[in-house]
Every structure is written in structure tokens, then in C-alpha cells.
Amino acid sequence: MPQAIRNALLECIIGLNKTECVRTTVVHDVPYKTLADVEYGTAGWVDWYNRRLHGSLGMMTPVEYRTAHYAPLNLESQPV
């Protein structure tokens, strides 16, 4: 994947985090007071984000989509 696309995807996720986690009280009840509060809130948001249903993934969670995507591949144990 080209660097510009990776940067755009990362900036999109950072923007979502700021909108859904940091700037609102959707994830938390009170304003963040410390960096540790932001880190804890972000960890919770990432967990929620990875468990929510995504319309672009056919209303599947990212984990379900990844599992379904890689299921047809032959994943026999390979020498390390």
C-alpha cells in the first residue's frame, strides 16, 4: 500500500478518535484530566471500534470480516 494511502487512513482513524472519543462524552462521562485518562479512553474506544458493525464490511465486525476473508486460505502449519 502506498505511503500516502497509509497516511490518509491513519489520519482518518485519528480524526474518528478525536471526534468520537476525545471531544465528546460518548465514551466517557467526564472531561479527561490527564494523559492517562486519554490513553485509557482511547483503549476503550479502540476496543469498541473493533467490535462495532461496519456497513462497509457487510455489517460485520472487523474481526469477523478478517476471519471470513482468510478462512478459504490453506493455513497449514509452516516451518518457522
Tens digit of pLDDT for each residue in 7-47?
Answer: 888 888 888 888 888 777 777 777 888 889 888 888 888 88
| Helix axes 3-17 and 35-51, enclosed angle (nearest 10) | 110
pLDDT tens-place string over residues 54-76: 888 999 998 899 899 988 886 66
* pLDDT value for 75: 64
Inter-residue contact 53 to 74 (CB < 8 Å): no
Average pLDDT over residues 47-52: 85
| Cα separation, 69 vs 64, whole angstroms | 8
Phi, psi of 41 (to 5 degrees): -65, -40
Are the CB atoms for 37 and 21 separated by under 8 Å?
no
Q: Which of 31, 67, 65, 61 is nearest to 49 (CA)?
A: 61
Residue 45: phi and psi, rounded to 5, are -65, -40
Predicted pLDDT of residue 80: 63
